Structure 1
């Protein structure tokens, strides 16, 4: 997930077009996806700071129970190495994973290999690894990966899937693991994948790009990964319709790479706004009508339609190789203190208008669409 940093004040209201009704793969939507997931990485901090969640009828409840009751069957959790606010570390991953496991959810662990956000524009080394290179950096990746996944297994909540890096279009652990040096990047990815398989037998290894609708870029990256012998089981792609192309582009890319590499595919991140205005002082990532996908208004119905149609695209991938999707941060509502910057408790949240809980904390219709999958 990439973030826009410039601020604008005063979001505009939307005069919306009619909802889109036809997308590639709609006829295949009857095949229920195996992965109907939600990234709940921010939930622990939200609740610690007073965040509350409610069913659609207004009854307050445990948000994990609300999600699971709707049919959400996977949870995704990011891991940072030594973040400024202390969240997204092994103890918090264990805490939320236990709750997911108790509700019957399977777990995807998303390693950023950083102390903060890792995405296409930044892949900063953890401070403790700054002076590590070559074999020493590979060993740090191995140990960190094994420690987290081993702790989950010891707790009785083993991860079922793992991402070795987050949105690694340009590589990870820069400058060492840049795509400018594929042998070095491949060694780091292999270190993480091998450590994951050793620490959590049976786990599926995913490699994750933010290239949902971009086939040429996806092919270039995975051609290099295969040529350099990187072990992986799943191709994971972020797809936000306001950044990564059309649903038809996504369909073409998923169909092609699943066949080309004989791997399952999953949309590791997607989301869509249910309104445009902000609940806190920070502008939202998407807050203008011009930023929306044509045919999908920023309304609860528009958000639900987007999720319905992207679900149909993934379900239509040939040979059942479309595993499913994860909705990114559906519980990241505008709780004071739970903002973008882990080093700044006063930072705001630019995501609350894309959550699956409204500004009163009530579950939105899109949650039911996600669970039905």
Structure 2
């Protein structure tokens, strides 16, 4: 062995000894540099499906690790919803322990985490924002404090488990506010468009944001509404929340509810012009791969056939549209893991997932969103 080889061997042995001398530091890893563009999958339902032996396949071969499979397909962040005290008997089963287990699996697969606070025991969306049962008797001031406490405690619990979200939604589709009735708002309806209602709601948002900054200062905060195709409402809304500390305008865009691509483009351009300092993300979108009973059929905005090919074409064209706007930095697909498995068989027949519900075979839509990263 020549002197160079001998020196290399000695250095190699020394490095091995150094790296192995303190095992307790093995778990401490330098996080990878955050991406500047995000392709997300809302995998909130995956864990319960996995525990009930759902089958997913690619060309007939079983997919053993679904989060890892999504990561391999270009999804770099997983969105996970969090309920306060869910009944655990339905699709609304995502309590803090469930979120921890799902987040760990997604992190192990190489994905970042977007935590979606619903501030409810069950689904929160434009049509309902139910106050958690244990919070119903609180005054507005007490509610604001409770939101701060709950947000801080939830994020602290995640941090103790080694989970730090890259993005945090302080509410889900909160176009009409949150924690109804005290936090119900509107930019149009006179009954809810009052200074008192808005101040209640804004106090809730301020406290949620404050807790996020204190526990997870590097996380991006998202304020999420459902008006991807309604530029006028979106502008009025984000003007109202202009003094809240947040980073990302989050929109839902489902063409069967929110209109055509032309309407989406108008909204994106208007928001980019009005709030140039904010990033914009489509934090929910989806399209059916077959007909369902949820209002898509006959909708003129649904320009693509309800087939696997139509679903893929919708996403491919959506990506091309989004890439035209500098401030648009992310797109998330909602409920791509949808499948039929007991005890959930037939309970959600949306047919918008990225797998055939009957066979578990992956659909071509899963390959479309990664182009957003290019």
What's the TM-score once normalised by structure 2's chain length?
0.83
Matches within 5 A, 1:199-214: 199-214=215-230
**Separation (CA, whole Å) in 2 of partners of 1:274 and 1:305:** 11
* Structure-2 separation of matches of 1:311 and 1:212: 15
Counterpart CA distance in 1 for 2:139 and 2:287 is 39
Other-structure match for 1:358: 356
Whole-Å separation in 1 of the counterparts to 2:300 and 2:162: 42
Mapped partners of 1:60, 1:221: distance in 2: 42
- 1:40 matched to 2:40? The reply is no
Partner of 1:165: 171
Q: CA deviation at 1:36?
A: 0.7
Offset at 1:287? 6.2
Q: Distance in 2 between matches of 1:299 and 1:77?
A: 27
* TM-score for both structures, normalised by structure 1: 0.83
Secondary structure of the 2:329 match is: strand
Matched, 1:76 2:79: yes
Q: Would the aligned equivalents of 2:255 and 2:302 in 1 still touch at CA under 8 Å?
A: no
C-alpha separation in 2, matches of 1:103 and 1:155: 16
Decide which of 97, 104, 113 is 1:107's aligned counterpart.
113
Q: What is the aligned partner in structure 1 of residue 19 from structure 2?
A: none
Tell me the SS of whatever aligns to 2:241.
Answer: helix
Conserved 8 A contact 1:356-1:366: yes
Question: Is contact 1:75-1:105 (8 Å) kept?
Answer: yes
**1:267 and 2:282 matched:** yes
Deviates more, 1:229-238 or 1:294-303: 294-303
State the secondary structure of the residue aligned to 2:175.
coil
Unaligned regions of 5+ residues in structure 2, if any? 1-34, 186-191
Query: Which residue of 2 is the match for residue 242 of structure 1?
Result: 256
Matched, 1:195 2:211: yes
Give, in whole Å, the separation in 1 of the partners of 2:269 and 2:76: 24
Q: Which runs of 5+ in 1 are unaligned?
A: 1-31, 278-283, 340-346
Q: Which residue matches 2:268?
A: 254
Give the secondary structure class of the aligned counterpart of 1:178. Answer: coil
Matching of residue 337 in structure 1 with residue 343 in structure 2: yes
Determine whether 1:64 maps to 2:67.
yes
Q: How far 1:256 sits from its partner (Å)?
A: 1.5
Q: Which runs of 4+ in 1 moved over 6 A?
A: none
CA distance in 2, matches of 1:232, 1:164: 9
Contact 2:113–2:165 under 8 Å retained in 1 = yes
C-alpha distance in 1 between matches for 2:199 and 2:62: 54
Preserved CA contact (<8 Å) 2:227 2:251: yes
Q: In 2, Cα distance between the equivalents of 1:175 and 1:276?
A: 36
CA distance in 2, matches of 1:329, 1:312: 22
Q: Are 2:260 and 2:302, in contact at CA under 8 Å, matched by a contact in 1? A: no
The CA distance in 2 between the partners of 1:191 and 1:33, in whole Å, is: 27
Q: Where in structure 2 are the equivalents of 1:21-36 lying within 5 Å?
A: 34-36=37-39
